[in-house]
A and B are shown apart, each in its own frame.
Chain A
Amino acid sequence: MTKLRIENVSRVFPGLHGGPPTRALEPTNLDVADNDFVTILGPSGCGKSTLLRLVAGLDTPTTGQILLDGKKVTRPGPDRGMVFQSYTLFPWLTVAENVGFGLREKGVPVAERNTIVAQWLERVGLQSFARHYPKQLSGGMQQRTAIARALANGPEILLLDEPFGALDNQTRALMQELLLGIWERERKTVLFVTHDIEESIFLASRVLVMSARPGRIKADLQVTLPHPRHYTIKTSPEFSELKARLTEEIRAEAVLAAEAH
């Protein structure tokens, strides 16, 4: 069943100071199935973040439309939770208040809100940091809180824009396992943007490769590795084969992107 439908969506940014307009995203068609974990892989500047922002409703497509559960996306909303690459926890709220932000906005009663917040803090392993302020947390903990904040809101789809991009390799690997664990239990529909090939395979049931400017989807791969996935799967032959293929795909794009800059 289709959860998210992207129909002929493109985005052209007007040129700065009379320069030529930037075609960030070529007309794109994409169907995302319910409960699917889709990663969007591409070099920086390929329009993958633009596509995600369009789905989130933070930006408006130049052409085409985006449908979530058959309903047209016109503005940001709580049905599309988002985790950003930059640390976007509200610095004046504690970890628990951050996680409860969306619920409070919805008008969920305090008692129910507290229960949901406690649940999510436990799932991301931050129960003992509930009363800390974001600045007192490490980068990995902040992103865990951001994931909990997005999911506590009960969104239809979770959008992640390189959420682990600023983390060190070890933390990143742990975060991938945590996110995958949550997905294996919740089976939310996820759209995850990354430029890390390993990450895109490990997490996904489907990988989309995007080409450099103008951005478009150039490859669409199913990942049939079994669940639950253990980190050791990263050394399996199937994994290596997928990785080799995606490396080839992405390398050509990276070369093009580097020349274009």
Chain B
Amino acid sequence: MRPLQPISNTARALLGVAFFVLFLAGWALATLGGYVSATFLASPVTMVQDGWYLLTKHNFSFDIGVTIWRVVGGFTLAAIVAVPLGILMGAYKPIEAFLEPFVSFARYLPASAFIPLLILWAGIGELQKLLVIFIGSVFQIILMVAVSVASTRRDLVEAALTLGARDRGILGRVLIPSSAPDIAEILRLVLGWAWTYVIVAELIGSSSGIGHMIIDSQALLATGQMIFGIIIIGIIGLISDYLFKAANRKLFPWSQI
């Protein structure tokens, strides 16, 4: 092992799996070995049993579906608003001067702190859940997209100008394609954060979703179910991350070279 030395794909995959195995082994040892009381931490075996019970008896797959729909819905709304705004902010300095201070301020407002307000405004229905995710994601995306667009290589813009590109050409044929892989990467990152917001939103005033199941299980001290819910979130995150990466590779082959 030397600094920055690359490793083979097989080694990479094996090492990645190895940590999961190690983690699982540590968990099994702590619980099955009797080092931690089952009241506080369920063993992997209990977790799997509880998970099966949830899926077969409590229609947990419906909750998973609801949560995914909320994340994807709120996040898509945020992306539809934020990506164009971010691009305009990055490209046009007056727009940046106008919006940047407010967006930077709004970015630090914790989405979870809005939940009581949002319940007041929008009730405890789906709209409120979507809004939590929207508020949590939209400002982050705007700001990160703006930074990416603004940092487009100046010499590429100049080259396009000398080739006769006007404002629209610069925006549509240089600034946007040049930062498109970055924007996709930003969306992947923020989608991960959106998952944390949705669970918080479901912990309060909700009758369905993974977060709702977790808070219900707390009342029953069913740590196995709670851990199963958390792990499901992790697995969905892993899958969506993988899909995003695969889509980026497909959409922007040039940035992988």
Instruction: Look across to chain A and name the residue whose beta carbon is closest to the beta carbon of B253.
Output: A133
B26 at the interface (CB under 8 A from A): no
Q: How far is the CA of A261 from the CA of B255 in the complex (A)?
A: 39
The answer to whether A105 touches B165, judged by C-beta atoms less than 8 angstroms apart, is: yes
Check A88/B156 contact, CB under 8 A, given A105-B173, A133-B254. Answer: yes
The answer to whether A102 touches B174, judged by C-beta atoms less than 8 angstroms apart, is: no
Residues of B within 8 A of A133 (CB): 253-254, 257
A4 at the interface (CB under 8 A from B): no
Which stretch of A7-15, A75-83, A166-174, A242-250 is in the interface? A75-83
The answer to whether B158 touches A102, judged by C-beta atoms less than 8 angstroms apart, is: no
Residues of A within 8 A of B255 (CB): 91-92
Check A92/B165 contact, CB under 8 A, given A58-B158, A76-B158, A136-B257. Answer: no
**Contact residue among B158, B160, B180, B252 (Cβ-Cβ distance under 8 Å from A101):** B160
A216 at the interface (CB under 8 A from B): no
Question: Hey, what's the 0/1 contact readout for B164-202 against A, CB within 8 Å counting as 1?
Answer: 111001000110011010000000000000000000000
B117 at the interface (CB under 8 A from A): no
The answer to whether B163 touches A84, judged by C-beta atoms less than 8 angstroms apart, is: no
Residues of A within 8 A of B254 (CB): 91-93, 133, 135
A143 at the interface (CB under 8 A from B): no
Question: Hey, what's the 0/1 contact readout for B123-145 against A, CB within 8 Å counting as 1?
Answer: 00000000000000000000000
The answer to whether B178 touches A92, judged by C-beta atoms less than 8 angstroms apart, is: yes
Distance of B112 from chain A, by nearest CB (Å): 38
Q: Which of B153, B165, B166 has the most CB of A within 10 A?
A: B165
Question: Hey, what's the 0/1 contact readout for B224-251 against A, CB within 8 Å counting as 1?
Answer: 0000000000000000000000000000
Residues of A within 8 A of B161 (CB): 57-58, 75-76
Residues of B within 8 A of A153 (CB): 163-164
**Contact residue among A58, A86, A92, A150 (Cβ-Cβ distance under 8 Å from B163):** A150
Check A58/B162 contact, CB under 8 A, given A90-B177, A92-B180. Answer: yes
Residues of B within 8 A of A150 (CB): 162-163
Main secondary structure of the interface of B (DSSP, over half): helix
Distance of B193 from chain A, by nearest CB (Å): 27
Q: How far is the CA of A106 from the CA of B177 in the complex (A)?
A: 19
The answer to whether B177 touches A92, judged by C-beta atoms less than 8 angstroms apart, is: yes
A56 at the interface (CB under 8 A from B): yes
Distance of A48 from chain B, by nearest CB (Å): 17
Chain A 116-135 interface residues, beta-carbon cutoff 8 Å to B? 133, 135
Distance of A135 from chain B, by nearest CB (Å): 4
The answer to whether A149 touches B163, judged by C-beta atoms less than 8 angstroms apart, is: yes
Q: How far is the CA of A78 from the CA of B156 in the complex (A)?
A: 15
Distance of B56 from chain A, by nearest CB (Å): 49
Instruction: Look across to chain B and name the residue whose beta carbon is closest to the beta carbon of A75.
Output: B161
Instruction: Look across to chain B and name the residue whose beta carbon is closest to the beta carbon of A94.
Output: B254
Q: How far is the CA of A90 from the CA of B166 in the complex (A)?
A: 16
Residues of A within 8 A of B55 (CB): none
The answer to whether A88 touches B163, judged by C-beta atoms less than 8 angstroms apart, is: no
Distance of B248 from chain A, by nearest CB (Å): 13
Question: Hey, what's the 0/1 contact readout for A129-161 against B, CB within 8 Å counting as 1?
Answer: 000010110000000001001100100000100
The answer to whether A105 touches B174, judged by C-beta atoms less than 8 angstroms apart, is: no
Q: Which of A76, A78, A82, A86 has the most CB of B within 10 A?
A: A76
Q: How far is the CA of A56 from the CA of B160 in the complex (A)?
A: 12
Instruction: Look across to chain A and name the residue whose beta carbon is closest to the beta carbon of B174.
Output: A90
Chain A 52-110 interface residues, beta-carbon cutoff 8 Å to B? 56-58, 75-78, 80-82, 84, 86, 88, 90-93, 101-102, 105-106
Chain B 212-227 interface residues, beta-carbon cutoff 8 Å to A? none
Q: How far is the CA of A138 from the CA of B227 in the complex (A)?
A: 53
The answer to whether B257 touches A88, judged by C-beta atoms less than 8 angstroms apart, is: no
The answer to whether A88 touches B159, judged by C-beta atoms less than 8 angstroms apart, is: yes
The answer to whether A84 touches B159, judged by C-beta atoms less than 8 angstroms apart, is: yes
Residues of A within 8 A of B253 (CB): 133
Known: A105-B164, A105-B165. 6 other contacts (CB 8 A): A90-B156, A92-B254, A101-B173, A105-B166, A105-B173, A135-B254
Q: List 15 A-B contacts (CB under 8 A).
A: A57-B162, A58-B158, A76-B158, A77-B164, A82-B159, A84-B155, A88-B156, A88-B158, A90-B177, A105-B169, A105-B173, A133-B254, A146-B159, A150-B162, A150-B163
List A residues at the B interface (Cβ < 8 Å): 56-58, 75-78, 80-82, 84, 86, 88, 90-93, 101-102, 105-106, 133, 135-136, 146, 149-150, 153, 159
List B residues at the A interface (Cβ < 8 Å): 153, 155-156, 158-166, 169, 173-174, 177-178, 180, 252-255, 257
Closest 5 CB pairs of A and B: A78-B164, A102-B163, A76-B161, A82-B162, A88-B159
